[in-house]
Chains A and B, each alone.
Chain A
Amino acid sequence: MVFPGCPRVALALFPESKELLDPMAFKSTTAAASPNPAFELKAATFTLPVIRLLGVEMDVVADQLAVKVDQAPDFFRNTPVVIDLSGLPRGSGQLEFPQLVGLMRGFGMIPVGIRGGTEEQHEAAQAMELAILGDAFVRRVPPARETASPAPARSTPPRPAPEEEAQTASQRLVTRPVRSGQRVYAAGGDLSVIAPVSNGAELMADGNIHVYGPLRGRAMAGMKGDTSARIFCQDLQAELISVAGHYRISENIPEDVKGVAVQIFLDQDVLRVEKI
């Protein structure tokens, strides 16, 4: 079944900072047994972009995806992507998995799994060797939206995550103040800010974060689990600092390192704040 020109067929794409691909918490227990372990089994969490499909018409998806990719070609190159099916209207017809996967690969993405689909979709996905991911975070779209009489055509497609600037280049330099409510994410690299970062602002980077100015908001380095990532800042007044998921809130930052130049790093799983 096809919806020709249905305005609701659209695509929301956003890196979700809290969507963790977490294969049950394995702990290495086997390594100790043999003297020369050939491997270690560990658990790690990764932040992956999620494509939340809002329609099944592949042509529309292709068009809109092309626009997105054009804006940020580097962001999608060889990036594992999860397909979220929870936003599909009920009875929206069959999803052409082979076409979708081909489409995403064509844009340089690596589709790794799906979530939020029906049994049927899960089977189809498995046939394409896609992983089925947990539904823990999925919210179903209330069916009311689909049964409502055709809404007046929206002139603009819904904008994904409006407040969030999905930052894309692997090295990112920000020269203007990062204000309350703004988020800056340097995917795959370092983030440098040469302006103040306000209370209520969020800095995220897969690599290190450098702030040449007061850091009053939140800073999260090593978003993809890189424990060697560090945060450097000239004037630490942060609400929250985090490296690879190990965090401290303002209350737990010692007074003597506040307001001075510091580096923040992980030392054997302990987040340390040190004057520099």
Chain B
Amino acid sequence: MARTIVITSGKGGVGKTTTSAALAMGLAQRGHRTVVIDFDVGLRNLDLIMGCERRVVYDFINVINGESNINQALIRDKRCDALYVLPASQTRDKDALTKEGVGKVLEDLGKSFDYIVCDSPAGIEHGAHMAMYYADDAVVVTNPEVSSVRDSDRMLGILSSKSRRAEQNQPPIREYLLLTRYCPERVAKGEMLSVGDVREILSLDLLGVIPESKAVLTASNSGVPVIMDQESDAGQAYSDAVARYLGEDLPHRFLEIKKKGFFSRMLGG
């Protein structure tokens, strides 16, 4: 039976889709059959980040409505055989996501995949609720600033009270914290919350800290999940996060200010 992971945050623009793409790719690269689903109906982005926007024929809503079967809608990633993308509809209304419909699709996918990564839309409305309802695990993506932390906290409350696991009195969703856009220099100046602050407020297991990096934007624009850019610190940090998710115990990196040498300063590195 597949494990369903929701990537969520409450607040928008914190890196949910980037994280969904990176984690899904990371899991698939390690040989796990993985599908990543875009729940952001009407504002679909995942296909862009995954670089498959020109191959979308059918989408998630078509499958829910029975207008296509699941295999027609799944897009296989060209770089990794174990990875598939189920894109959102750009034209439909998000109310087309029904609890029964989503449940049926996830059940079908569960038969042939190891991991189902659900990329949640921002907010705590219907789309976000549908994305988290069937989750087994949740990765809460948070930026080190107070409003993002507060929204994540709210989302965690919803995860623990309104998911299927909560409603059916099953063991609760496993919750992980992923801190993104972390900038040790700004933490040192007191402009940003530190890892310790955020962990203390949210009291969650830390899955990873992704440093603020130009590589993320470059990767997004070119349709390559940033985890494939193993030269970059963000790519390495995502790899660490995937390893930790799979049970490895790794120290957290990129929490300290990089000491820049003379040459790297001259070369702008």
Q: How far is the CB of A36 from chain B (nearest CB, A)?
A: 54
Q: How far is the CB of B147 from chain A (nearest CB, A)?
A: 11
CB neighbors of A among B160-197 (8 A): 160-162, 172
Q: Are B172 and A179 in contact, with the CB atoms below 8 A? A: no
Q: How far is the CB of B32 from chain A (nearest CB, A)?
A: 29
**Which of A8-16, A85-93, A95-103, A196-204 lines the interface with chain B?**
A196-204
Closest-by-CB residue of A relative to B157 is A179
Q: Are B203 and A181 in contact, with the CB atoms below 8 A? A: no
Does B128 interact with chain A (Cβ within 8 Å)?
A: no
Does B212 interact with chain A (Cβ within 8 Å)?
A: no
Q: How far is the CB of A258 from chain B (nearest CB, A)?
A: 15
Q: What DSSP secondary structure best describes chain A's contact surface?
A: loop
Q: Are A195 and B203 in contact, with the CB atoms below 8 A? A: yes
Contact of B157 among A196, A201, A213, A214 (CB under 8 A): A201
Does B57 interact with chain A (Cβ within 8 Å)?
A: no
Q: Are B153 and A180 in contact, with the CB atoms below 8 A? A: yes
Q: Are B153 and A200 in contact, with the CB atoms below 8 A? A: yes
Known contacts A162-B162, A213-B203; 5 further A-B pairs (Cβ under 8 A): A179-B156, A179-B157, A180-B153, A198-B201, A200-B150
Give bound CA distance, A182 to B156, whole Å. 10
Q: How far is the CB of B122 from chain A (nearest CB, A)?
A: 16
Provide the residues of chain A in CB contact with B203, threshold 8 Å: 177, 195-196, 213
CB neighbors of B among A194-225 (8 A): 195-196, 198-201, 213-214, 216
- Contact A199 to B157, CB < 8 A, known contacts A176-B172, A177-B203: no
CB neighbors of B among A102-120 (8 A): none
- Contact A199 to B150, CB < 8 A, known contacts A176-B172, A179-B156: yes
Chain B, residues 138-160, CB within 8 Å of chain A (1/0): the string is 00000000000010011011101
Q: Are A181 and B154 in contact, with the CB atoms below 8 A? A: yes
* Max count, chain A CB within 10 A of own CB: residue among B161, B162, B172: B161
Q: How far is the CB of B150 from chain A (nearest CB, A)?
A: 6
Provide the residues of chain A in CB contact with B201, threshold 8 Å: 196, 198, 216
Which residue numbers of A lie inside 8 Å of B, CB to CB? 162-163, 165, 176-182, 195-196, 198-201, 213-214, 216
Provide the residues of chain B in CB contact with A199, threshold 8 Å: 150, 153
Provide the residues of chain B in CB contact with A182, threshold 8 Å: 157, 161
Provide the residues of chain B in CB contact with A201, threshold 8 Å: 157
Q: How far is the CB of B205 from chain A (nearest CB, A)?
A: 12
Provide the residues of chain A in CB contact with B153, threshold 8 Å: 179-180, 198-200
Provide the residues of chain B in CB contact with A178, threshold 8 Å: 157
- Interchain residue pairs with CB less than 8 A apart (12): A177-B156, A177-B202, A179-B157, A180-B150, A181-B157, A182-B161, A196-B201, A196-B203, A198-B202, A199-B153, A200-B153, A213-B203
Contact of B160 among A162, A176, A196, A200 (CB under 8 A): A176
Provide the residues of chain A in CB contact with B158, threshold 8 Å: 179, 181
Give bound CA distance, A250 to B201, whole Å. 17
Please give me the 10 A-B residue pairs with the lowest Cβ-Cβ distance, nearest first.
Answer: A179-B157, A180-B153, A180-B154, A182-B157, A198-B153, A181-B154, A179-B156, A181-B157, A179-B153, A196-B203
Q: How far is the CB of A161 from chain B (nearest CB, A)?
A: 12
* Max count, chain B CB within 10 A of own CB: residue among A165, A176, A179: A179
